[in-house]
Amino acid sequence: MYKFVKRVMDILLSLFGLIITSPFLLITAIAIKLDSRGPVIFAQERLGVKGKVFKIYKFRSMTVGAEKTGSGVYSGKGDARVTRVGRIIRATSIDELPQLVNILKGEMSLIGPRPALTYHPWTWDKYTDEQKRMFDVRPGVTGWAQVNGRKGVEWHKRIELNVWYVDNMSFLLDLKIFFMTFFKVLTNADNENTGKTLNDSQDKAL
């Protein structure tokens, strides 16, 4: 029952979010375009429900072709490939706002396990049956793992947190995650990649 209610809330909240932030989204898009050459939106393949591949949308925060240089698609502290505007929108998580469109398309939810890359930490066939349970729900813009360490959490532990969320998903838990996320965004907590989890930094890839 809650899955249905959750989907209705996702649609209403994402529509409301897009309408309210539309002037701000336009300003951000213009700033990105003026700051560096390349598209405003970056699309990247991720694993969705039951491992179905979809393209996640983000405001581009790195230079064009950045994935072919330096440390690939992963970005650490002080990465020269991150643009001036990119540093701002990453620190404030503004780069994630285009995912409201992913929510409307039914590919994502506001809250759920962050969608993994198609090849990292490993490919779909390498996940165990237990780990694949985190794909039983729509991936989220934010989730339980993000508010419990975010980038400082090693991948196996991150997946455990995601599976725990699937088993305990509820309105109150989602509400708790929402407010915890708001606090972390305001304080920019756990938003730097560590040496241990640098290759886990999919949430700040391009």
Q: What is the reported pLDDT for 187?
A: 79
pTM listed for this prediction:
0.85
Q: What is the reported pLDDT for 66?
A: 66
CB 2 within 8 A of CB 169: yes
CA contacts within 13 A on the Cβ side of 30: 6
The pLDDT tens digits along the chain (206 residues) read 899 999 999 999 999 999 999 999 999 999 999 999 999 999 999 999 999 999 999 999 998 866 665 555 555 566 778 999 999 999 889 999 999 999 999 999 999 999 999 999 999 999 999 999 999 999 999 999 999 987 678 999 999 999 999 999 999 999 999 999 988 888 776 555 544 444 333 345 44
Longest dimension (CA), the chain: 47
Q: What is the reported pLDDT for 71?
A: 53
Q: What is the reported pLDDT for 168?
A: 97
CB 135 within 8 A of CB 109: no
Q: How far is CA 34 from CA 23, 27, 39, 84, in A?
A: 17, 11, 11, 11
Domains of the chain, by residue range, sit at 2-204
Q: Which of 138, 134, 114 is nearest to 58 (CA)?
A: 114
CB 137 within 8 A of CB 115: no
Q: What is the reported pLDDT for 196?
A: 45
